[in-house]
């Protein structure tokens, strides 16, 4: 089993230290928020032609410079936001019956989706490991009886898109676009499979909080699968933590099932692209449910090679805006034009 880094250092898959992020921030000397890192704009190859179809085609994209949170938003930070604003998250509100025709009455109560491991192999097409747990929310990640006590530095979870966007606005920030997120996650490693390089566990070192064992029933870790405190693993080349695994992260972009075709001429390369449209984001497989979807990035502690190899910067996943789970969180950005 790969060993986790006890004293993380910036390394690529060959054990070579990344060059530090020596990018020059704008004239504003101080970051717009504590713990933010300046990312110089540039052109990069976004997506992948070698993994899941929704990541293709790999295509050139240009992004302007921006600030991004070094860590995902923590329970402690979100708790402060709630205390100051009185905000009630989506998972803490009773669902409106008119939005969920045909739903069982016992499910029309405040709650959220929680991972519950089966005790034997299951059909991976069923997603039977998810349960809607009444009373599960950011304060009670596993449901009633659980709490975030002694988990202040864990990433906040059970966050729907609206919750993340509202927090970001309160903090004077926004959610990243998919292009911003992926550019930052790559940390200067153009086209690399992982945010740290090409090898999953360089020299036996585990580089992210991901599932170990056969998903979803065999847990090879010494602890239960769950988010870990932010910054538990090595940062990428831009000194950003947890850009792979731990929790999925919301972006601002509407989901569409493929990237646009690649434009190789510099005059035609998209600048600060914004993904699809709300109409494109609906799931055509379930036309009776008209709930738009946003793009999630980064993978989570439940991702694994035998089911969801998405702890990669190119990976992307659609999520309905009304959905919260025990493995979705977020981080924020401040774009160059607002600095």
Structural domain contains residue 2: no
| pLDDT tens digits along 202-254 | 999 999 999 999 999 999 998 999 999 999 999 999 999 999 999 999 999 99
Rounded to 5 degrees, what angle do the CA atoms 256, 96, 127 make?
50
User: Cα–Cα distance between 336 and 339 in angstroms, integer?
Assistant: 5
Query: Would residue 25 count as lying in a domain?
Result: no
Look at residue 158 and tell me if it is in a domain: yes
pLDDT band at 339 (very low <50, low <70, confident <90, very high): very low
Question: At 66, which helix (H) or strand (E)?
Answer: strand 66-69
The Cα 213–Cα 206 span in angstroms is 13
Residue 12 belongs to some domain of the structure: no
Assess whether pLDDT exceeds 80 at residue 59. Answer: yes
Q: Is the pLDDT of residue 16 over 50?
A: no
The CA distance from 56 to 53, in Å, is 6
Burial of 45 (0-12, 13-18, 19+ CB in 10 A): middle
Comparing CA positions, the residue from 336, 151, 328, 312 lying closest to residue 236 is 312
CB 149 within 8 Å of CB 141: no
pLDDT at 25: 60
Is 1 a member of any domain?
A: no
Q: What is the mean pLDDT of residues 55-67?
A: 96
In a domain, 8, yes or no: no
Number of domains in the chain: 1
User: Cα separation of 339 and 337, whole Å?
Assistant: 6
Does pLDDT of 97 surpass 80?
Answer: yes
The answer as to whether 7 is a domain residue is no
pTM for this predicted structure: 0.91
Residue 19 lies in a domain: no
Q: What is the CATH number of the domain that holds 285?
A: 3.90.1580.10
243: containing domain: 31-339
35 touches 238 (CB < 8 A): no
């Amino acid at each position: 089993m790969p060993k986790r880094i006890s004293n993380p250092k910036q390394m690529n898959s060959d054990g070579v230290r990344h060059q530090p992020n020596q990018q020059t921030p704008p004239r504003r000397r101080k970051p717009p928020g504590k713990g933010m890192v300046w990312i110089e704009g540039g052109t990069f190859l976004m997506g992948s032609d070698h993994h899941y179809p929704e990541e293709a085609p790999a295509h050139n994209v240009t992004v302007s410079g921006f600030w991004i949170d070094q860590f995902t938003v923590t329970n402690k930070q979100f708790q402060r936001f709630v205390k100051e604003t009185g905000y009630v998250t989506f998972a803490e509100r009773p669902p409106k019956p008119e939005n969920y025709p045909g739903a069982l009455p016992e499910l029309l109560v405040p709650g959220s989706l929680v991972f519950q491991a089966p005790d034997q192999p299951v059909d991976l097409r069923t997603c039977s490991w998810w349960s809607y747990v009444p009373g599960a929310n950011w304060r009670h990640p596993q449901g009633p009886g659980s709490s975030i006590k002694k988990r202040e530095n864990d990433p906040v979870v059970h966050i729907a898109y609206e919750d993340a966007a509202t927090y970001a606005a309160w903090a004077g920030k926004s959610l990243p676009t998919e292009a911003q997120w992926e550019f930052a996650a790559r940390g200067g490693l153009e086209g690399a499979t992982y945010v740290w390089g090409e090898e999953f566990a360089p020299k036996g070192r585990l580089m992210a909080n991901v599932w170990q064992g056969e998903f979803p029933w065999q847990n090879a870790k010494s602890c239960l699968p769950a988010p870990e405190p932010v910054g538990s693993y090595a940062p990428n080349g831009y000194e950003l933590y947890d850009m792979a695994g731990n929790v999925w992260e919301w972006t601002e972009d509407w989901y569409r099932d493929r990237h646009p075709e690649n434009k190789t001429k510099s005059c035609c390369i998209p600048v600060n692209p914004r993904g699809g449209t709300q109409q494109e984001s609906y799931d055509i497989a379930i036309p009776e449910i008209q709930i738009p979807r946003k793009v999630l990035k980064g993978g989570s502690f439940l991702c694994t090679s035998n089911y969801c190899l998405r702890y990669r910067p190119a990976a992307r996943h659609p999520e309905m805006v009304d959905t919260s789970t025990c493995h979705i969180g977020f981080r924020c950005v401040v774009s160059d034009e607002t600095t």
